[in-house]
Each structure stands twice: as structure tokens, then as C-alpha cells.
Amino acid sequence: MNFTARQIADQINGTIVGDPDINILNISKIEEGSKGSLTFLANPKYTEYIYSTNASATIVSNDFEPTEKIETTLIKVKDPYSSFTAILEMFNKDNSERKGISNLSVVDKTSKVSETSFVGSFTTIGKNSIISDNCVIENQVFIGNNVKIGDGTIIYPGVKILDDSIIGKNCIIHSSCSIGSDGFGFAPNEDGSYKKIPQTGNVIIGDHVEIGSNSTIDRATLGSTIINNGVKLDNQIQIAHNVEIGENTAIAAQSGIAGSTKIGKNCMIGGQVGIVGHIKIGDNVKIQAQAGVTSDVESNARITGTPAISYMNYNKSYVHFKNLPEIVKKIDKKEK
């Protein structure tokens, strides 16, 4: 793609300081900027690079004033990070408008695929499934029976969407995800072996949900596992049967949520967090990375540790923990 600095500034309501007609061909990091590239400065830690970058244009905040000579054209905006994100979307837009079903795919005659959607090679779609308008189903995707996929959703290669799953509009499901597999349900027998409990429910995913690669969302034992609108899941996340995740909650990589736990709206959950089953986590909760959550959490809490406790209480306790050897020495000395 080829844009001028003026065209980019118009897209993000920016003010240009420098050459408005300079050509922009690609995107770069500020420390790796080259002629023809666009970069941005949002984190003050990277300010030094603006004086040495070879990028043709740089998006900066309205209050940025250089203290040294710069070569790059500046595009001043209110929020550099969100503005650069908008430009990334513009550069990343797929203008090919792919439509139609590959001759190398298999679609059951009882299923319906919109004429405005695309189905790639070696993809299988089972019985009575519906692919709505403007969807992109990439190569080697498996879609089972009675699946519904909403408008504008993108399914990347290798995804498995099993029977009865429902996926909303404008979702993105990255490579090798598994949606609707059996939950981990087994009943112990008297002889110590286990009997599998049938998993008869489904998975319901709302609108504008994004699910990272190699994540797994299990179908419910009864009823539905529910991922509500706007949820963002990172790579390698496990969501067990009958879990419900509230709107606009974000969960980082390698976290696991056990069965029947309910998580509220607008939560932020760090990487490698483990959450036990059958508990409730309120709205606006922040859970630090590697925490182990073993009981209910009230709304607006910030927790960390295992078992997880208040973030501030954990920090105070950790100070005492670090000082414990010296405290023990003092106690021993007094006892002697």
C-alpha cells in the first residue's frame, strides 16, 4: 500500500509537522524505522529513537516537542497508540474480497454458506450448519453439525468447531483452536476406575470475541459454556465446561478456568492464572499473573498469589516473608 503523510493524518485527525506529501509504504518499530515507513512514539522509554529513526513519518502526541534536530515528519494526535492501531488496521485490510467455496472443500448439502463468504481448501462443514455473510473460513477448518457462525467472523486454519456451537458476529478465532470438545467429566467407580459423564451441552460465543491460537473451550455438561460479547482470549487458554465469561473480559496466555466458574464483566486476568471450579468472580476484577484463585472474588478487587489474596495485602506480607530469616535470628537470640 502507498499513502502520503497527509492521507494518514486525515484518517486519524492528526496535525502534520514536516513534509505532508512524503510517501508511506509500510509500518515499522521506531528503533528499526527505514525510509518509506511509518512508526509511532507512545512510550517515553523510546523517545531517544525519534532523533535517530530513519522512518519517514512518526505519530506522536500533541504535546510532544523535540529537544534535538529530527528528520522524520511528525503526525501529532491526541492518542498515538490508538491512532497507530487504526493505521495498522488500514494497512492490514484484506482488499481481495475473497468469496466462494473451494472445490477442495466438503460442505454438506443441508448446510448454508452465504454467497458473500469464503471457504478455503480442505475445509469440512457438516450437516445443518449456517455460515452467515462476509465470513472467512480458511483452509483445513472442521465445522461440525448444527453450527452457526455470525456475519464477518474469521476462522483461521486448523480450527475445529464441533457440533451445536454458536459463534457471533465479527469474531476472530485463530489457528488450531478447539471449540465445543467434551468437558473433563468423570465419575469415580468403586473399583477406582472412572466412568465418563456424557457432555450434552454446547458452546455459545458472543459478538466481537477474539480467541488466540491453540485455545480450548469445552462444551457444557448440560446447558452452555458462554463467552460473552467483546471477550479477548490469548493463546493456549483452557475454558472448561459450563464456564461463563462476562463482556469485555481479557485473559492472558496459559490461563485455565475450571468447570462452572462464572467470571464477571471487564475483568483483566494475567498469564498462567489458575481458577478453580464452581466459584464466582465479580466485575472489574484484576488478577495478577500466576495467581491461584480458590474462592469467590468480589467486584473491583485486585488479587495475586496462591491462594490469591488482596494485591496490597500480598505485597505487605511479602515484605515480612523476605525479612523472615532476620526475624528468626532475632527471636533465637532473645531465647538464648
The predicted-structure confidence for 276-288, as pLDDT tens digits, reads as follows 999 999 999 999 9
Contact 287, 307 (CB under 8 A): no
**In the predicted structure, residue 94 carries a pLDDT above the cut 60:** no
Q: Angle, to 10 degrees, between the axis of helix 80-92 and the axis of helix 5-12?
A: 120
Query: What's the CA gap between 129 and 315, in Å, rounded?
Result: 51
Local structure of 83: helix, strand or coil: helix
Mean pLDDT in residue range 303-330: 84
Say if residue 152's pLDDT is above 80.
Answer: yes
What's the pLDDT score for residue 326? 85
For 242, phi then psi, to 5°, come to: 65, 15
Q: Which of 174, 208, 241, 320 is catalytic?
A: 241
Q: How far apart are the first and last CA of the chain?
A: 79
To the nearest 10°, report the CA torsion of 112, 117, 121, 124: -30
Residue 124: strand pairing partners = 106, 142
Q: Give me the phi and psi of 237, to 5 degrees please.
A: -110, 140
Give the whole-number percent of the chain exceeding pLDDT 70. 98
What pLDDT does 324 receive? 84
pLDDT attached to residue 134: 94
pLDDT band per the 50, 70, 90 thresholds, residue 330: confident
- According to DSSP, the residues that pair with 143 across neighbouring strands are 125, 161
The predicted-structure confidence for 153-166, as pLDDT tens digits, reads as follows: 999 999 999 999 99
Q: Quick one: pLDDT band at residue 93, thresholds 50, 70, 90?
A: low
Domains identified in the chain and CATH numbers: 3-92 (3.40.1390.10), 100-313 (2.160.10.10)
For residue 69, pLDDT over 80 is answered with yes
Q: Is the pLDDT of residue 226 over 70?
A: yes
Catalytic (active site) residue 208? no
Question: Average pLDDT in the 58-75 region?
Answer: 94
pLDDT, residue 325, reads: 85
Contact (Cβ atoms closer than 8 angstroms) between residue 261 and residue 278: yes
Q: Tell me the per-residue pLDDT of 197-214, one tens digit each, with 9 for 90 and over.
A: 999 999 999 999 999 999
Judge whether 294 and 276 are in contact, CB under 8 Å.
yes
pLDDT-derived band of residue 95, with 50, 70 and 90 as boundaries? Answer: very low
What percent of the chain is modeled with pLDDT above 90? 85
- Residue 326 class from Cβ within 10 Å (0-12 exposed, 13-18 middle, 19+ buried)? exposed
